[in-house]
Amino acid sequence: MLKHVFKLVWNRKRSSLLLIMEIFVAFLVLFVVVTAGVFYADNYRQPLGFSYEQVWNIKIDLQTPNDDSWSPEMVQTTEQLYLALRDFPEIEAAAGAFSAPYGSVFGIRDRHSLNIYDGKQLEMYVNEVTDDFREVMGLHLTQGRWFEKSDDGMNWKPVVINQRLSRELFGDDDPINKKFAPWSVDGEEYRIVGVIPDFRKNGEYSGAGNYLFVRRRLDNPRERPPRNFVIKVRANTPVEFEERLITKLQSVARDWSLEVKSLRQMRETSLQLYLLPIMAGGLVVSFLMLMVALGLEGVLWQNVMQRRREIGLRRAKGATVAAIYKQILSEVFALASFGLAIGVIVILQIPLLDLIGFISAKVYLSGLFISLVLIYALTLAAGLYPSWLATKVQPAEALHYE
């Protein structure tokens, strides 16, 4: 039976070629959208690595042409801003950071390449923070320690890495006090002093990546000042505190542009930006699926009308309603399978190009399985009405052709 059905569809391949290609394209787009959705859902269940509750971010525009251009006056003003923040009783802790959580959704500004000594390039996120960053963001250490005042006297720079980067660099070995060069432009020596769990700065939908924190001092004119201050405010802080905070900070940095937002607000914006491509893709997929459904239903309806004699003869020979349903639906499923087979072959080639290394095999295969189920479910829905019409053909109608 199955062989006969596929043979029938293959014999009509020229007339069905356009529909097969529509199914193929719709399947590919659906796979991309579904896999992205599964990827986001899987990420959302993972630990974030920090706490955003009661944390505000103060974004600073230093009015410099680039990140590596600053003056001693800018460094001094930044330090004064920090001292002003410490004067507010509503603020539990304050810290400087080059990049704030949820600040850049796709993490372009703070991504660097790490040169491994065997020539391998390892991607990682790098952030420059002050000593109080851990207290503000509620970070937890799994090994070693965080930055502290005693690091001022060291002739090397302390760094803290996440567990993922530790595994990439040293496997199961203890990384504490290990030397390495995250980049070679400044010629300084770096040593690992601590390890934290996975830290996903860009939010719940972002995947786990390699992350590294470099210690920065606010009073060192040789080091660039932070672009952000993150502050931990006390619970039940009144709304009017934000206005007092901005007024005080602007009096310290009169010519600078300061923007204050809670991390909760930044989080909502970040999540929306992540979902926009999914929503746009969903609209495209919905249109393509509608076209496929209408095409399948139209082809089946035409086949039923053209094959009324054949169906009538089958009914006259004792074919049941269930058998007619099975025949028509089998043909439409076979037609869809041709398009899906091409799509599956193409999709299975993508991992070989090493373009989606950030997506796990579980997520990839889940997206493929869900997409197949959705296409077949659509095929079933599109074939129900033409199949029902076929069951209404009476045996006597075959006699009209004699």
DSSP 1-14: -HHHHHHHHHHTHH
Query: What's the pLDDT score for residue 185?
Result: 47
Q: Residues 175-228: pLDDT tens digits?
A: 999 887 665 445 678 899 999 998 888 888 988 888 999 999 888 777 788 889
| Alpha carbons 339 and 321: distance in angstroms, whole number | 28
The answer to whether the pTM exceeds 0.85 is: no
- Nearest CA among 140, 137, 138, 160 for reference residue 148: 160
Main-chain dihedrals φ then ψ at residue 232, nearest 5 degrees: -105, 110
- Cβ atoms within 10 Å, residue 96: 27
**Angle at the Cα of 84 (from 98 to 251), degrees rounded to 5?**
95
Q: Residues 92-135: pLDDT tens digits?
A: 999 999 989 987 655 445 566 666 555 667 788 889 999 999 99
> What are the domain boundaries of the chain?
2-46+270-401, 63-255
Per-residue pLDDT, averaged over 278-287, amounts to 90
Asked if 289 contacts 26 with a C-beta cutoff of 8 angstroms, the reply is yes
Per-residue pLDDT, averaged over 135-148, amounts to 94
Which structure tokens are listed for 248? 């005080």
Query: What's the pLDDT score for residue 108?
Result: 46
| Alpha carbons 111 and 122: distance in angstroms, whole number | 11
| Alpha carbons 169 and 44: distance in angstroms, whole number | 26
Hey, is 44 helix, strand or coil?
Answer: helix
Query: What's the pLDDT score for residue 379?
Result: 86
Q: Which residue has the tokens 């209408």?
A: 294
